[in-house]
């Protein structure tokens, strides 16, 4: 019996979620299910960064209050995650007042102990908008790679993604005007003192890749002091010097949500395992800022057994799905066409076959489902269900799958379990255990498979083999129906920032 804390990233709530956005969540879900199966105490958390500066930016563009926007997106997101079978314990909302109090008090304690202090930062300011420009509100070039990006963090996630203290050639993302720099006092938090405690913890994680370590060390160099407040009314106020125009940096806010929303034992138990599934752009925050904030608190929060698993979500972003072209596998439509488990199958199957750069093809997807699941699995279950005297379970191969899962080798574990459930020589006892492991990947399909093995007449797949032409046509018709909405959302996510107006939103009034 052990404790495992699992966190998975989810994109900003106003995005139209695509299947590619689910990748960290789907990888995390395998381990939440696997550790629960083994009797571990698991807490599986995800959530929305509802105070993100992009939320405020979009809300202004839409002339809406950000709270209304995030409420709407939350209501739309939860059923999608349920349909995908994501077994979250909590989907945290950073606008929850309980969390606001927790963050305020947390930072106040650090302030009282002198670990955070006011310091002047040069902040870009737009005279035309009469506004200081936090992260998403300023556009320019990354000082490290030269790419065009917004402030805060470089948008070039593949080769850079570094945290940016100050942009080159910055201009206002709202009106396009030039910026000047004005000194503003913000709460500053030096992370350097925690480096000697954090790096050895990360290095001791077998699963942590060299690229992750490199980015962690780079972040300690790039931003030795993190500014924990921003010039925006949309966020959590700092209780010691309450100023309606200056609120807690949304990354600090959303990182601390991992503590607010999880039972304390998962942070205090030094033996608990902590797994973070995220995109590579999350590494500076989960590898540096969160553990530094936890260590600074001296509340007994442990940063041991800390593993960052930036999975292939980025590669997907560059490949299959793109909001800018309006094409991709969008969750809402995808789930109207096929059950969530078949989309889960697609993701694990794709990574298991190292097709990371492959474009999604309906034909290939339908073929894999037809061959491996409908033909391979269903046929094999029918055979085993009739087995007169069940042979012993193949413990060697079953333990092989378990040890791959313990080593977080998702793709190899998926291949091994699929091979096992389709093996015509596997006994019913083996298949019963194998389908239990399969439930980590394909929970609903595995549940029906087990019923079948236990003698029920239930079919694992209704309707027989998939026709890729029919599927594609149904999916495309649904997407076309929603095309107008998709393009609207595309406009507001900032690619046409110059068309946005500044509209004064009184954030005190809802
Ligand atoms: Zn860059
Ligand atoms: Zn401006």
**Which of 37-46, 73-82, 374-383, 456-465 is the most confident on average?**
37-46
Q: Give 277's Cβ-side CA count (13 Å radius).
A: 27
pLDDT value of residue 451: 94
Q: Is the domain of 256 the same as that of 109?
A: yes
Instruction: For 82-207, list the strands marked E by DSSP.
Output: 90-93, 117-126, 131-132, 138-141, 148-150, 152-153, 163-164, 168-172, 180-190
Q: Is the domain of 152 the same as that of 19?
A: yes
**DSSP code of 498?**
G
Domain end: 413, 433, 453, which one?
453
Q: What is the pLDDT of residues 14-49, one digit of tens each?
A: 667 888 788 899 999 999 999 999 999 999 999 989
Structure token digits, residue 36? 């629960």
Q: Residue 326 Cα, ligand 2 centroid: separation in angstroms?
A: 29
Q: Is the domain of 28 the same as that of 113?
A: yes
Residue 458 lies in a domain: no
- Return the ligand number nearest the Cα of 176: 2
Listed in sequence order, the DSSP H helices in 181-278 are 195-203, 210-222, 250-260, 265-268
Q: Is the domain of 306 the same as that of 338?
A: no
The H or E element spanning position 27 is helix 23-37
Q: Is the domain of 20 the same as that of 69?
A: yes
Q: Is the domain of 385 the same as that of 302?
A: no
Domain end: 317, 350, 383, which one?
317
Residue 96 lies in a domain: yes
Provide the mean pLDDT of the chain: 87
Q: Residue 248 Cα, ligand 1 centroid: separation in angstroms?
A: 24
pLDDT value of residue 359: 64
Q: Is the domain of 290 the same as that of 380?
A: no
488, pLDDT greater than 50: no
Confidence of residue 508 (pLDDT cuts 50, 70, 90): very low
pLDDT value of residue 484: 60
Q: Is the domain of 294 the same as that of 159?
A: yes
Q: Which domain holds residue 96?
A: 3-317
- Return the ligand number nearest the Cα of 164: 1
Q: Residue 132 Cα, ligand 2 centroid: separation in angstroms?
A: 9
Q: Residue 171 Cα, ligand 2 centroid: separation in angstroms?
A: 8
Q: Residue 496 Cα, ligand 2 centroid: separation in angstroms?
A: 14
Q: Residue 452 Cα, ligand 1 centroid: separation in angstroms?
A: 53
Q: How far apart are CA 310 and CA 206, in angstroms?
A: 14
Q: Is the domain of 99 the same as that of 57?
A: yes
Q: Residue 444 Cα, ligand 1 centroid: separation in angstroms?
A: 42
Q: Residue 214 Cα, ligand 1 centroid: separation in angstroms?
A: 15
Q: Residue 161 Cα, ligand 1 centroid: separation in angstroms?
A: 6
Q: Residue 249 Cα, ligand 1 centroid: separation in angstroms?
A: 20
Q: Residue 94 Cα, ligand 1 centroid: separation in angstroms?
A: 28
Q: Residue 128 Cα, ligand 2 centroid: separation in angstroms?
A: 5
Q: Can you tell me the mean pLDDT for 115-138? A: 92
Q: Is the domain of 169 the same as that of 36?
A: yes
Confidence of residue 362 (pLDDT cuts 50, 70, 90): confident
Residue 404 lies in a domain: yes
CATH number of the domain to which 148 belongs: 3.40.50.620
**Which of 90-104, 144-158, 384-398, 494-508 is the most confident on average?**
90-104
Q: Residue 133 Cα, ligand 2 centroid: separation in angstroms?
A: 8
Q: Can you tell me the mean pLDDT for 105-115? A: 97
Tell me if 312 sits within 8 A of 356, measured CB to CB: yes
Contacts of 371 (CB under 8 A, 6+ apart): none
Q: Is the domain of 136 the same as that of 205?
A: yes
- Return the ligand number nearest the Cα of 152: 1
Structure token digits, residue 57? 């930016």
Residue 43 lies in a domain: yes
Q: What is the pLDDT of residues 178-236, one digit of tens each?
A: 999 999 999 999 999 999 999 999 998 888 888 899 999 999 998 899 999 999 999 99
Domain end: 411, 437, 453, which one?
453
**Count of structural domains, the chain:** 2
Q: Residue 137 Cα, ligand 2 centroid: separation in angstroms?
A: 8
pLDDT value of residue 16: 72
Tell me if 117 sits within 8 A of 187, measured CB to CB: yes
pLDDT value of residue 308: 94
- Return the ligand number nearest the Cα of 174: 2
Q: Residue 121 Cα, ligand 2 centroid: separation in angstroms?
A: 19
Q: Residue 52 Cα, ligand 2 centroid: separation in angstroms?
A: 19
Q: Residue 153 Cα, ligand 1 centroid: separation in angstroms?
A: 8
């Amino acid at each position: 019996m052990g404790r495992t804390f699992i966190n998975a990233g989810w994109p900003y709530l106003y995005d139209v979620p695509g299947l590619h956005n689910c990748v960290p969540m789907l990888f995390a879900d395998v381990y939440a299910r696997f550790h629960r199966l083994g009797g571990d105490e698991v807490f599986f958390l995800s959530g929305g960064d509802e105070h993100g500066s992009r939320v405020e930016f979009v809300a202004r563009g839409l002339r809406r209050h950000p709270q209304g926007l995030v409420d709407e997106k939350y209501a739309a997101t939860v059923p999608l995650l349920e349909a995908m079978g994501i077994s979250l314990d909590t989907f945290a909302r950073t606008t929850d007042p309980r969390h606001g109090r927790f963050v305020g008090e947390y930072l106040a304690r650090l302030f009282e102990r002198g670990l955070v202090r006011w310091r002047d930062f040069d902040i870009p300011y737009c005279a035309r908008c009469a506004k200081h420009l936090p992260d998403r509100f300023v556009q320019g070039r990354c000082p490290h790679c030269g790419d065009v990006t917004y402030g805060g963090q470089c948008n070039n996630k593949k080769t850079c993604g570094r945290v940016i203290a100050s942009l080159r050639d910055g201009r206002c993302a709202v009106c396009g005007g030039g910026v000047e720099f004005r000194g503003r006092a913000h709460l500053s938090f030096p992370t350097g003192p925690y480096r000697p405690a954090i790096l050895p913890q990360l290095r001791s994680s077998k699963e942590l890749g060299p690229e992750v370590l490199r980015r962690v060390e780079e972040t300690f160099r790039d931003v030795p002091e993190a500014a924990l407040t921003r010039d925006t009314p949309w966020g959590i106020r700092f209780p010691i010097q309450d100023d309606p125009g200056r609120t807690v940096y949304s990354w600090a806010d959303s990182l601390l949500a991992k503590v607010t929303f999880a039972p304390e034992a998962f942070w205090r138990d030094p033996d608990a395992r902590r797994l973070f599934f995220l995109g590579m752009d999350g590494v500076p925050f989960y590898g540096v800022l969160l553990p530094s904030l936890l260590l600074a608190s001296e509340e007994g929060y442990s940063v041991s057994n800390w593993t960052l698993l930036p999975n292939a979500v980025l590669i997907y972003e560059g490949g299959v799905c793109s909001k800018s072209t309006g094409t991709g596998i969008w969750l809402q439509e995808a789930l109207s066409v096929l059950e969530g488990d078949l989309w889960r199958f697609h993701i694990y199957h794709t990574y298991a076959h190292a097709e990371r750069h492959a474009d999604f093809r309906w034909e290939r997807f339908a073929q894999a489902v037809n061959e491996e699941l409908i033909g391979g699995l269903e046929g094999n279950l029918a055979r085993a269900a009739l087995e007169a005297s069940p042979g012993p379970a193949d413990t060697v191969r079953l333990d092989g799958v378990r040890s791959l899962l313990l080593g977080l080798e998702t793709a190899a574990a998926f291949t091994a379990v699929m091979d096992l459930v389709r093996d015509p020589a596997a006994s019913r006892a083996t298949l019963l255990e194998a389908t239990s492991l399969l439930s980590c990947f394909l929970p609903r399909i595995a549940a029906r498979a087990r019923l079948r093995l236990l003698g029920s007449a239930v079919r694992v797949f209704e309707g027989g083999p998939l026709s890729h032409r029919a599927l594609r046509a149904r999916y495309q018709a649904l997407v076309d129906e929603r095309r107008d909405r998709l393009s609207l959302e595309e406009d507001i996510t900032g690619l046409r920032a110059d068309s946005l107006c500044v509209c004064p939103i009184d954030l005190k009034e809802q």
